[in-house]
């Protein structure tokens, strides 16, 4: 279904409700630059670190697209678990999993309080940016402690530049990208207002430093387009 949510005036802050869930896949593909490529490299590296009999958690799995692709390409016997606090998102995810006869486990939960079992890989696609800054490092420490030694946390985030003029240029570049995919100036403005104080991005440096403080021995960017980046952190 096509994303037309912001064609009309917004009445609330952005949330992952039934309206968003119904158009979420289209929203991602049209509003996140090179989303498929970022997910492809995420799947590639997740497969490298995922051992036979291992476990993967997708934090904020939304409609389970990444887990379904990982299940498709992975040859090992693994457990794939998707976590999300939006029942509407999980409803869409379940429909897709049922359609493909998937064995993915879907759990409605708060990723901050969930009791994780040991895992080889943890994934988070544009989820950390919605976690309040005061709780973000706490979550990452929990992620690090739940990973097996040598395990990987692979995550994508919207990022900001440390240089204000360049940051403005990156935002303008992104808005041009969205216009090229059919979003109007009005829709872009509406979504920006809806996300105000809901989506709080960090710089690349802040993300990497936060991961190292949380117990990861190495973290670096493995894919980037303007103000969107994919990282890998090794425990």
Residue 21: pLDDT band with limits 50, 70, 90: confident
Supply the pLDDT for residue 7. 85
Report pLDDT for 19. 86
More confident residue, 217 or 7: 217
pLDDT of the residue at 14: 86
Confidence of residue 207 (pLDDT cuts 50, 70, 90): very high
Domain 12-234, what architecture? 3-Layer(aba) Sandwich (3.40)
Q: Is 186 helix (H, G, I), strand (E, B) or coil?
A: helix
Q: What is the pLDDT of residue 211?
A: 96
Instruction: Report pLDDT digits (tens) over 23-79.
Output: 888 888 999 999 999 999 999 999 999 999 999 999 999 999 999 999 999 888 899
The partner residues of 194 in beta bridges, in order of sequence, read none
Side-chain half-sphere CA neighbours of 103 within 13 A: 9
| pLDDT score of 6 | 86
Show the tokens assigned to 105: 């486990």
User: What DSSP string describes 110-162?
Assistant: -TTT--PPPEEEEEEES-GGGS-HHHHHHHHHHHHHHEEEEEEEEEEEEEE-S
Closest CA to 6 of 215, 230, 184: 184
Q: For the chain, what are the domain ranges?
A: 12-234
Residue 3 above 90 pLDDT?
Answer: no
Q: How confident is the model at residue 213 (pLDDT cuts 50, 70, 90)?
A: very high
Dig out the tokens for 190 from the structure: 């509406």
Q: Which of 131, 23, 99, 108 is nearest to 140 (CA)?
A: 131
Short-list 102, 100, 60, CA closest to 79: 102
pLDDT in the model for residue 39: 95
- The predicted model scores a pTM of 0.94
Output the pLDDT for position 233. 98
Contact at 8 Å (CB) between 216 and 137? no
pLDDT in tens, 77-130: 899 999 999 999 999 999 999 999 999 999 999 999 999 999 999 999 999 999
């Amino acid at each position: 279904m096509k994303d037309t949510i912001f064609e009309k005036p917004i009445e609330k802050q952005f949330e992952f409700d039934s309206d968003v869930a119904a158009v979420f896949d289209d929203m991602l593909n049209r509003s996140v630059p090179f989303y498929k490529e970022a997910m492809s490299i995420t799947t590639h590296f997740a497969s490298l670190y995922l051992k036979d009999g291992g476990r993967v958690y997708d934090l904020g799995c939304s409609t389970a697209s990444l887990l379904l692709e990982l299940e498709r390409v992975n040859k090992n016997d693994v457990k794939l678990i998707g976590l999300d606090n939006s029942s509407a998102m999980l409803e869409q995810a379940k429909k897709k999993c049922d359609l493909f006869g998937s064995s993915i486990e879907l759990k409605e939960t708060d990723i901050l309080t969930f009791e994780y079992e040991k895992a080889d890989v943890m994934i988070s696609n544009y989820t950390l940016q919605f976690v309040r800054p005061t709780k973000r490092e706490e979550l990452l420490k929990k992620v690090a402690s739940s990973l097996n030694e040598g395990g990987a946390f692979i995550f994508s985030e919207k990022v900001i530049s440390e240089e204000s003029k360049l940051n403005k240029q990156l935002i303008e570049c992104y808005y041009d990208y969205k216009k090229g995919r059919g979003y109007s100036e009005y829709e872009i403005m509406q979504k920006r207002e809806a996300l105000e104080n809901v989506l709080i991005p960090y710089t690349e440096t802040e993300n990497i430093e936060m991961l190292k403080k949380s117990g990861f021995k190495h973290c670096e960017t493995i894919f980037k387009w303007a103000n969107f980046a994919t990282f890998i952190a090794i425990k």
